[in-house]
Amino acid sequence: MKNLLTVLLFSIAMLGANAQCTLTNLLTENLVDPIGIDQTKPRFNWQLQNSGRNIKQVAYEMEVRKGSVNGPKVWQSGKVMSDSSVHVAYKGAALQSGTRYWWKVRVWDNGSKVSAWSSTAFFQTALLQQADWKANWVEAGYKEDSILRPCPLFRKSFSLKKKVQSAVAYITAHGMYEAQLNGRRVGNAYLTPGWTAYHKRLQYQTYDVTGLVQKGENAVGVTVGNGWYRGPIGFSNSRDVYGKTLALLMQIVVTYSDGNTETITTDSTWKSTAGPIRNVEIYNGEMYDARLEKTGWANAGFDDKDWSGVKVVGATKEILLATHNEPVTKHEVFQPVKVFTTPAGEQVIDFGQNLVGWVTIKVNGQAGDTITLRHAEILDKKGNMYFANLRQAKQTNHYILKGGGTENFEPHFSWQGFRYVQVKGLREPLLPENFQAVALYSNMQPTGTFSTSNTLLNQLQHNIQWGQRGNFLDVPTDCPQRDERLGWTGDAQAFSRTASFNMNVDNFFAKWLQDLEADQVNGAVPYVIPNVIDSNAVNSAGWADVATIIPWNMYLAYADRALLANQYNSMKAYVESIRKVARDNLWNNGSHFGDWLFYRPEDDNDGRSAVTDKHMIAQCFYAHSTQLLINAAKVLGKKADEEMYAQLLEQIKAAFQREYLTPSGRLVSSTQTAYVLALQFDMLPDALRTQAAKRLNDNVKAYGNHITTGFLGTPYICHVLTRYGYDTTAYKLLLQEKYPSWLYPVKMGATTIWERWDGQKPDSSFQTPGMNSFNHYAYGAIGDWMYRQMVGLDTYEDEPGYKHIRIQPHLSDSIKQASASLKTYYGEVSAGWKLQGQQFSLDVTVPPNTHASVFIPALNANAITESGNSLNAVADLKVKGMVNGYTEVEIGSGTYHFAAPAVKTN
């Protein structure tokens, strides 16, 4: 039977190898059929599908047509000898605004076979020139209630005289907007136009609204809310950070069946009035009075004679840009898992998951009845709702009924971070089926999976992913519930590599990094992006280094050279901002957060867990950012910069060694973080690294295999332990169940990552409420070690983006199975290992047009088999030799099953 199976697998592989490739997953600018891109030379991705082994692309041909599938060609590439199938740039005729283009591709493989042409994909350009904007900015024409600030409604009726072929809407606002055409919602995006550095960058969205308009009478209606633009934001709840008045800019371009066009724009003919949303703020929630609804107000024929006009204003259009990243959309919908009354007499719904979004309700009552929904993440030790950690944020929605039947309420322009919802004001019993929790987050595609034989680790992975979902709402926020929700740079850089595994964050971070550059102050990087704190709140080590760390991490994850090139000046300006203030190559000045929220036991008598010297941390990150700048210069061919910063890096490390290192190799701070950063960033002479790693290992063991690091040391500690041969200690840290540890919150029932190691203490009391979020992803950075070291799924820097894949699992007898998969731009790569008795097995799948180096833990290469055959008998792979207890094997695309006698790990 075994031989028959081997023959069958071989036959299938041969059939795949002899078959033509098919092409799938066509992307433009990393998106499926995007509408509204303003890149003049967009980039294309495609994937080869072929189950055979060692399948590679050797050439491609692309065709782009304008207007329709059979329209005129604007680019015919001809046969291009290249294996590129990711980020292939358009090289045809100049693109035109507001135009749809259709493209397809075919490839030649290394077996001299040409594929059939792919199916046709499309992209549609946005407004490529400022002059393409015909609309004017308009503000409400009535006197605003300056206290409540109700959301204004804008509307206009218009008539279309001929049959419509297509219609496209371009919309943005000062504030947030929701638009309707003929009473139907425009698009599925929320919190638009998103948050950017509004003074320099304001996004607009493009929508295909062909199906929403008709020949004859039409109407458009838009609601605008305060949002980030003028609502309370930041620690002081500052209002009007970007402006005092809300405004709308919109135009609809209609193409008739005869080819002629007509444009409907915001102008002086629009009408405005205050709507039923009486007040809505990001932190506080919404007050909605259904008695003030204007039934049919976004439909043709609505009588708006009592509405006010609008005020045309001269706000700039020079900063407008098309949206590059995925919008915030609705995702999972949760039903109540429990409805109960707390000891305090509160009616509470438990949705079973700490999530970010809002609760929708269906309710009956009398006009004027008010339903109040107050949201919290956790219950206190008595079982009551815990609100103290929200600080000043109210996280409360009020719905005032109009009466007369069943009513439905869904919030707008705000969101809540919660698991529990307190409900007040119902006349009837609370029915669970009348309440749903809707998750909101940026519409990034899920890419990574991870599972093990350990259920606690699987829950940890769940918590990591939900922490990311809850905090990736157009910007990477620190937390989603209290009066903060800011784009903290330290959290984002620490988590960025983990984030790129779980979801495709290529466009998400590309957009945010442009705001980072826009808000830099003479190269210095603010604490939060967009910066709503203070222009002087800049350059904290480990936070500001986001300017170099995320661009490089995105390059590694996605091979996105354009992102790296776009951010290079920002990276360089940041390093230079440190260089200007450094003294004798030491960055020993400025204000720094240090190793934020590190663990410090009360009985710390010998200083092993004392505060890590902040300036020593700064010097480490100064070196790291300089190294990443060198890496970027090398990739981009900036030889002079590469050489100049290589010299600077030597001086930075020499200064570190003079200032912070004794001749025997002891650091001035004896903490885990001190040794982790010094080793991770190669700050020590080669001869002193081994002993430093032992000091780190001894420190961890001395604390009973507990972690004491904070935001800056945590992402790297297990990586460093593994790098220096202490896998056993890394696993003990990971699998530690008592505080402080990653699994302690899991054991306490967490469904997301906590801000503090002990957000809730073993006795169910809480850490200080001033800073105690239960959805705060930074410590979830351990996911990167689980994926890249535990399972061993990684990419090489020579061919990033998983073109050259590295698979090197690190095992523990405590875990019997671990697997991970990742949807890359080339296709899905996966690796999974098992320990069964005395046998080790490793299953690997490598997508076409890539190759992998696989490291199999085995003391003897001759004992390893692949699909039941000895390695030497398998023609599809190459044995490279032994490396530190592993046999290295080079493979191409395909599915492989390796087996070997298990090697004892601990």
Contact predicate 552/632, CB 8 Å: yes
* CA 758/CA 171 separation, integer angstroms: 45
Catalytic site residue from 139, 377, 755, 866: 755
Beta carbons within 10 angstroms of residue 875's beta carbon: 9
Three-state DSSP at 548 gives helix
Provide CB contacts within 8 A for 489, sequence distance 6+.
516, 525, 526, 527, 528, 529, 543, 544, 546
Lay out the sheet containing 793-795: strands in order across: 793-795, 804-807, 851-857, 886-891, 877-883
Question: Distance of CA 60 to CAs 53, 117, 446, 771, Å?
Answer: 20, 10, 28, 54
Three-state DSSP at 115 gives coil
Catalytic site residue from 484, 602, 737, 888: 484
Nearest Cα neighbor of 220 from 290, 153, 150, 173 is 153
Tell me, yes or no, if 484 is annotated catalytic: yes
* CA 730/CA 784 separation, integer angstroms: 13
Tell me, yes or no, if 178 is annotated catalytic: no
Return phi, psi of residue 304, to 5°.
-110, 25
**Distance from chain centroid for Cα 758:** 26
Residue 441: what residue type? Answer: Y
Contact predicate 347/388, CB 8 Å: no
**Pairing of β 817-824 and β 435-442:** unpaired
Provide CB contacts within 8 A for 821, sequence distance 6+.
448, 449, 828, 829, 830, 831, 845
* CA 144/CA 690 separation, integer angstroms: 68
Cis peptide before 762, with omega less than 30 degrees from 0? no
Beta carbons within 10 angstroms of residue 824's beta carbon: 23
300, exposed or middle or buried, with CB in 10 Å at 0-12, 13-18, 19+? middle
Nearest Cα neighbor of 345 from 415, 280, 253, 423 is 423
Provide CB contacts within 8 A for 279, sequence distance 6+.
148, 149, 150, 286, 287
Which of the residues are catalytic?
A: 484, 755
